[in-house]
Amino acid sequence: MESQRIGCSPDDGGAGNCQAVCYGKDPVCLVMEIMTKAAALAVTALLCAGVVRRGAQEFSVLLVLAAGTGIFVLAAEAMGQVLEHMEHMSKLAQIEETVLRPVVKTTAISILTKITGELCRGGGEGGLAAFVETAGTMLALWVALPLAEGVLELMGQLLV
């Protein structure tokens, strides 16, 4: 896929104030663009939270939470692409969609558990983080049980 530069003329030899912009659906370019924005937002929030933390720690946690939400919104577009690719691969492999649901749900539970646990630790509540992580583990196991059951049924069919 193409990557063009804005604000550049063909004869400037690459000098000048140019920005790379992704056109089309080149996944590598899109992922790099999203990750660059997420990293910039995270570093900016980190620096601001460090300054704010000296005066009011509770505002620092809110700032980090807001930045995390912004990063999550940035990554949501990529998550849509992941789901589309998973559906495409399941059709190629002739796998039912019901098999993929537990994988997607378990991944979502894992991400939410990680984020929530780190926010709790950042707010000084390590004990609460441990409870969140334990609950996330139990819920991920619960969601994955139908997948494990399907694997056992398939193994039973193959052995008969």
Angle (deg, nearest 10), helices 57-92 and 97-122: 170
**What is the tally of structural domains in the chain?**
2
Q: Which of 95, 110, 131 is the last residue of a domain?
A: 95
**Do residues 67 and 80 both lie within one domain?**
yes
pLDDT in tens, 134-158: 999 999 999 999 888 888 888 888 8
Q: Is 71 exposed, middle or buried (0-12, 13-18, 19+ CB in 10 A)?
A: buried
**Do residues 90 and 112 both lie within one domain?**
no
Q: Which of 75, 95, 115 is the last residue of a domain?
A: 95
Q: Which of 55, 72, 95 is the last residue of a domain?
A: 95
- Asked, for residue 8, whether it belongs to a domain, the answer is no
**Do residues 102 and 160 both lie within one domain?**
yes
Query: Contact, 117 vs 133, CB < 8 A?
Result: yes
**Do residues 103 and 48 both lie within one domain?**
no
pLDDT score for 18: 45
**Do residues 89 and 34 both lie within one domain?**
yes
pLDDT score for 83: 80
- What residue type is assigned to position 144 of the chain? A
**Do residues 38 and 76 both lie within one domain?**
yes
Tokens of 60: 């620092």
Q: How confident is the model at residue 128 (pLDDT cuts 50, 70, 90)?
A: very high
Q: Which residues span the domain enclosing 32?
A: 25-95
pTM of the model: 0.65
**Do residues 81 and 133 both lie within one domain?**
no
pLDDT score for 19: 45
**Do residues 32 and 91 both lie within one domain?**
yes
**Do residues 79 and 60 both lie within one domain?**
yes
**What DSSP designation does 12 have?**
S
Neighbours of 151 (CB within 10 A): 11
